[in-house]
Structure 1
Amino acid sequence: MFTGVLILSSCAAIPRNSTVQKIEAESDQGESQPFRFDAQGPTEGADARRIVEGFVEAGRSVLEDYALSREFMTPELAADWRGNTRTLIYEAMNVLTGADSNRYTVQLEISGEVDAMGVYTQEPEHSTRAVDVELTKVDDQWRISKAPDGIMLESSSFSKIFAPQTIYFYDASYQYLVPDVRWFTSGAGTTTSMVEALLAGPAPYLQNAVVSAFSPASTLVRSAVPVRDGTATVDLSAESISEASDHAKQLMQQQLDKTLTPLSSVSVVRILQDETEVTLGAPAANFVPALVNPSTPDTLIAISNESLVYVKGRSIIPVGGVPDISAFHPRNPAMSAVGNRYAFLNGKRTQLMTISESGSVSVAAEGGALIRPSIDVAGWTWTADNAAEHPLLVVPEDVAGQGEARPISVSWLEDTKVSSLAISRDGSRALIVAEEQNESKVYVAGIVRDADGVPRGLTDDPMEIFPDVPVSTAVWDSDRSIIVAELSATEQVAAEQITFEHGSERLGLLLGMSGITSGVGDRRPVYAETSEELYTRVGNSWHALDDYAKDVSYPG
């Protein structure tokens, strides 16, 4: 089942007279001060329903391993129950009486779920979840005797108790650090949670698409990463590091540094092995620091008068060194982020053409309904043929040496129409808009490659993103944010920027928006186009350029 794709029955029947109390907004406490609220345990003589409601409310207290929640349980359940294994985030809640007087169901309208490793699974609007509990009397007081592990939090409470943090893994070449956004409770244990999650491996949508410097056997000596005077100390077991080369240790250090130092409390990370300082050794002469959110080149590719042109700032410049391609009636061009290679579709979308570094043009793939190509950092050109059984197609940089275009089988794309495909700047993730039964969905999936870097597939459990606007296209805006829109030549179009931390912002309306593109990195303006004008985004307004080009796209 897809990450974030669990669709449950409508919650239209959930009563809206929930007794849940909302917490008013408070200032950010930072990772060193966990959110606190005035909490009460069970009152003397409380009926069974009130015990259940109190148990739900007590989930807002994470102190002492959810000690308050355990007060509502029998001693046996309190000893076994684990609060940090699952957090259900709800918008509405109601407690329903079960078939027996000691059984209740907590009916929730949920917006998401966080697992023990901080992986957030967003749910479609109006999804529901039922949590069954049983009660018994202890010393003539009702107590919960059976309940699943985990807590339930109203969404406004969740945003005060949990905070998004980014842990990093490497792409297969170790040239880039790929973000993996997780959610952890704020407080002194944040660093511990982040390191334990990093050692446990990537989120499902990135598994087998990214790598870690740490072996699967890596563990902490004890479940603690203390921070004192700005120094975080990571004490690893002997199995974690004893056989590692100096280069591997340096990669470990880099991975931990990039993960922990964004925290305001951490400026230095020390690695220990069973309480002994680890010697990293001198970096090799060819050691190059991995890049985080590397910038896309600020020169875009576009079409003007059936020729390739560059768009840079407010200027449009013809591309030199390429032959006349007007006979193909080119559209939807792409450009490599490294080097001078190009790709485009012919006017009928039946051929994918590539232009090599030497300037030679060749037919790289043919199909019935190709979409705009995307060129990854490893030199592979991606497109989709919606007339084929397996729509995704990849073309190597060197067709003569690496073979021709090949399809990629992705089970969760079967019976869909792929309308948009964009590869991340780090080459590890694919951003896809796919239409199924007249409904468009947005996915981010890891790219699985073999030892030679050849794309072999996408991860089986993609992350689904739920925009607030209709969608037909999606582009990368940073290594952890995207822009989506439903393009239209005649209607007002509202694009939306969405972050992996679940923030969003509507871009200004533009009548007849037929294309949009954004570049990763600082000061990369968003461009949008209509049939007659090319615009850049300034603030939240669109400003037209003096000259016009169509099918504008950043490299990648």
Structure 2
Amino acid sequence: MSGKVGVVRIVLLLMAMAITVTGCQSGIPRSGAVYVGERENITAEQPVIFNPDGPAQGASPEEIVRGFVRAATSSTGDYAVAREFLTTSFSPQWNPYAGVIIDSGERGWRGENNQITMMLTPVSTVNSHGTMRFSPSEQTVEQVFTLLREAGEWRVSSAPEGIVLDERTFSEVFNEHSLYFIDPLTEVLVPDQRWFLRGATIATRIVTELLSGPSDLLANNVTTTAFPSGTVLTSSVPISGNNARVDLSREALGADDRQLQLMLAQIESSLQDVAGITRAEIMVGQVGLLSGPTDPALVTRYPRVHNNPFILKSGALVLVNSEQTDLHNRFGTAVAQMEPEALVVPSGKEFVVVKNAGGISLVTEQGTTPVDTRPGLINPVVDPHGFVWSVPRDSPLSLAIAPTRGVATGAMQATWTDASSIELMSISLDGTRLVTVYSRGGSYVVAAVGVVRNQEGAPTALTEPIEIQRLTETPIDLDWVDENSVAVASGDQVSGYSLGIVSMGGNDQQPVAPQSIASLAGANSISQLRILGRNGELLEYRNPGWQAVTSGVTLLAKQAYLFFNIDTPPSTGG
């Protein structure tokens, strides 16, 4: 492959001087397999067709504005019907693609002279790049529309950019897709969820945004991209059979063979939910550079842990559904004798991180090493580079990072500066995103931050928190359930319990919660979520409800993935 790619690159470099290519840029499924079965001649997502009415003769200013807002449900013909409500001069200026405000559909109206004000409460917003963000304030937003008479009829002469859709309509005309960027240390593909209009141009939009780079959660060296700087799409993305042909600008010729493989993996992974696409071809000047499908051996997907959970039962640390034999008989007894309040079991099982009344400790065959002995610590997390994260509940900025091998700890500052206390935290299996639950102003904030690391894998910085949900009940537990989402449990015995599946991209679910929740643990998919009831029963969801898997469970452990095996003595940390 390498020799062929090199020859093609030389030919393309010679051709690029003479080639001029004109450019163009052009429901809520979860990510499935990267390579699906072949589906011939299915080239686009099928959009829901809305047929809003145009302006009625003699309509009042308020009727014109209401009609304009309704007409934005249809993007047909570059929002042709909505533009009928605009003045001749304002119509070409209005940009419906600037973003979306999503609300419940309950809106207020106020009119004065030739101005109409629409009042709404945003639930979420989507920016021009398709990134959705939760709107936590619950404050009313006012949008002002100015009207003029044109040929005797009222028309909108100024309006906010973007469109407003209620939640139901939004889910019918937009679809969620994951763009994939790269962990700069491990080359793991990391998802970045976006929302795009359904329709024939979806593949073009996805590749365009992929080339534009990651959202704020994954920017600032949290992730990177294999595409050389300045690479853009030079034409729309046609789909021939099951193949997406991606024609890039000549900057792509600067990529080496490994970069090309990663570029192809990014493209194919990002297009995996588009109907009919199972592979892609990278081109420059309409000449093929590298064709898919990507060799799975050359790409690192999101890490996996055991499908089944680890539990502490009858004084032994066991894996459920494996005859419940003590998998940690080398040091399982020591763990049980520590009377743990929380456990983290990393892949490889060379050690266990324990939290008890004395703090947080690392337990190996060689013995127990204190990691953090400060009082009031919340449950720890272990990242895939072998660092233990700990913080006292009432000192939310006092974040400590301790290595479990001979790597220097990176200096880092917590960025949730508005927190009065911190309740929970959980890190993704790839180590790129940390989700926390902290208190602020009488409620609990669920926020995600990106993790920046040095060349040794030590965390050195966190991005600014992005609020993804807000809780009104007391938080109980938190864990990642797949590459995009976390499960959050809250509530108490008096008011009842709630369970939420919160996506980094805004697609939240509220599954039925069991009658009691003491803790929870995720694995590789939402279906593998396990909950420990307050009565010691371990629960899993089996339609139509939560069913007990085993009883007499003392503790439900969290799992962590490691990119290495311990080969040096453990180190202590603050």
Normalising by structure 2, report the TM-score: 0.82
> What's the offset of the Cα at 1:186?
0.6
- The two structures, once aligned, show a CA RMSD in angstroms of 2.9
Alignment of 1:492-531 (within 5 A): 492-499=496-503, 500=505, 502-511=507-516, 513-521=517-525, 524-530=528-534
Partner of residue 216, structure 2: 204
Partner of residue 320, structure 1: 329
Note closer, same or farther for the CA distance 1:544–1:172 as it changes in structure 2 (3 Å cut).
same
Distance of 1:230 and 1:324 partners within structure 2: 56
Is contact 1:489–1:514 with CA below 8 Å preserved after alignment?
A: no
1:253 correspondence with 2:264:
yes
1:381 correspondence with 2:391:
no
Partner of residue 7, structure 1: none
Distance of 1:504 and 1:125 partners within structure 2: 20
Q: Aligned letter for 2:479?
A: V
Partner of residue 334, structure 1: 344
Matched-pair identity in %: 22
Structure 1 consecutive aligned stretches of length 4 or more whose deviation exceeds 6 Å: 280-284
> What's the offset of the Cα at 1:227?
2.0
Partner of residue 243, structure 1: 254
Partner of residue 17, structure 1: none
Which piece of structure 1 moves more, 41-50 or 120-129? 120-129
Note closer, same or farther for the CA distance 1:338–1:135 as it changes in structure 2 (3 Å cut).
farther
Q: Aligned letter for 1:439?
A: S
1:267 correspondence with 2:278:
yes
Note closer, same or farther for the CA distance 1:258–1:517 as it changes in structure 2 (3 Å cut).
same
Q: Aligned letter for 2:481?
A: D
Partner of residue 135, structure 1: 147
Which piece of structure 1 moves more, 541-550 or 447-456? 541-550
Distance of 1:532 and 1:42 partners within structure 2: 63
Distance of 2:467 and 2:178 partners within structure 1: 16
Partner of residue 429, structure 2: 425
1:54 to 67, 72, 80: 67
User: 5+ unaligned residues in a row in structure 1: which ranges?
Assistant: 1-24
Is contact 1:41–1:71 with CA below 8 Å preserved after alignment?
A: yes
SS at structure 2 position matched to 1:253 = helix
2:360 to 342, 347, 352: 352
Is contact 1:392–1:407 with CA below 8 Å preserved after alignment?
A: no
Note closer, same or farther for the CA distance 1:280–1:245 as it changes in structure 2 (3 Å cut).
farther
**CA-to-partner distance for each residue in 1:464-485, whole Å, 9 max, x for gaps?**
2246865332111111222111
Alignment of 1:460-475 (within 5 A): 460-466=464-470, 471-475=475-479
> What's the offset of the Cα at 1:117?
0.9
1:192 correspondence with 2:204:
yes
SS at structure 1 position matched to 2:82 = helix
**CA-to-partner distance for each residue in 1:118-144, whole Å, 9 max, x for gaps?**
111122374422111211122222221
Distance of 1:537 and 1:254 partners within structure 2: 34
Partner of residue 317, structure 2: 309
Higher RCO (C-alpha under 8 Å, 6+ residues apart): 2
User: 5+ unaligned residues in a row in structure 2: which ranges?
Assistant: 1-26, 28-41, 562-574
Partner of residue 91, structure 2: 78
Is contact 2:96–2:163 with CA below 8 Å preserved after alignment?
A: yes
Which piece of structure 1 moves more, 45-54 or 169-178? 169-178
Number of residue pairs the alignment of both structures matches? 515
Distance of 1:434 and 1:138 partners within structure 2: 54
Distance of 2:136 and 2:418 partners within structure 1: 21
Partner of residue 179, structure 1: 191
Note closer, same or farther for the CA distance 1:413–1:302 as it changes in structure 2 (3 Å cut).
farther
> What's the offset of the Cα at 1:544?
5.3
Is contact 2:468–2:502 with CA below 8 Å preserved after alignment?
A: no
Note closer, same or farther for the CA distance 1:527–1:407 as it changes in structure 2 (3 Å cut).
farther
1:363 correspondence with 2:370:
yes
Partner of residue 14, structure 1: none
**CA-to-partner distance for each residue in 1:168-215, whole Å, 9 max, x for gaps?**
112223442222111111100111111111111112122131221123
1:541 correspondence with 2:550:
no
